[in-house]
């Protein structure tokens, strides 16, 4: 991937994101009626919280510090995604994969707007 300048211009409250980040975001999401599903491959017990790119063509790889015991990694994942997308934690729920590394999060909201936020997040994280 070409090295893009990390300085972002903001025009009419819409951040300009390279097309490949939008394409990447579309690989890991599935739009629904009142939100979208975000496919995650979770890596618990990591050295730092981070997005590690796309895993297995359709899962966003996310590392968290917490261990998987007592669902601590799941809770940290929900918090990390909410903070990163600048949305309320109550708008995110774990739809699938409670005890698996592969998870599906449901995020309430307008699918196109959420997809744009995910593309921005990926651009700034990768």
**Which of the 8 DSSP states describes residue 108?**
E
Whether 40 is in a domain gets the answer yes
The span from the CA of 38 to the CA of 61, in Å, is 11
What three-state secondary structure class fits 100? Answer: coil
Residue 73 inside a domain? The answer is yes
pLDDT band at residue 26 using 50, 70 and 90 as cut-offs: confident
Radius of gyration for the alpha carbons in the chain, expressed in angstroms and rounded: 14
Q: What is the pLDDT of residues 52-96, one digit of tens each?
A: 888 888 899 999 999 999 999 999 999 999 999 999 999 999 999
Residue 4 resides in a domain: no
DSSP tag of 83: H
Confidence (pLDDT) at 17 = 55
CB neighbour list of residue 41: distance below 8 Å, 6 or more residues apart: 55, 56, 59, 60, 61, 62, 101, 102, 103
- Is residue 1 assigned to a domain? no
CATH, residue 48:
3.30.1200.10
Give the pair of three-digit tokens for residue 112. 């196109």
Instruction: State the Cα–Cα distance between residues 3 and 9, nearest whole angstrom.
Output: 16
Confidence at residue 16, expressed as pLDDT on a 0 to 100 scale: 55
Domain count, the chain: 1
Helix (H, G, I), strand (E, B) or coil at 26: helix
The range of the structural domain enclosing residue 59 comes to 10-125
Other Cβ atoms within 10 Å of 47 Cβ, number? 7
């Amino acid at each position: 991937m070409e090295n893009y300048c990390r300085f972002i211009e903001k025009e009419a409250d819409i951040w300009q994101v390279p097309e490949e980040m939008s394409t990447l975001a579309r690989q890991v999401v599935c739009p629904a009626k009142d939100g979208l599903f975000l496919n995650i491959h979770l890596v618990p017990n990591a050295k730092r919280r981070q997005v590690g790119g796309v895993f297995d063509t359709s899962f966003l790889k996310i590392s968290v510090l917490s261990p998987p015991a007592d669902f601590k990694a799941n809770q940290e994942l929900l918090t990390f995604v909410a903070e990163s997308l600048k949305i309320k934690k109550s708008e995110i729920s774990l739809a699938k994969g409670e005890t698996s590394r592969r998870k599906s999060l449901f995020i309430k909201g307008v699918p196109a707007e959420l997809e744009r936020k995910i593309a921005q997040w990926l651009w700034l994280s990768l």
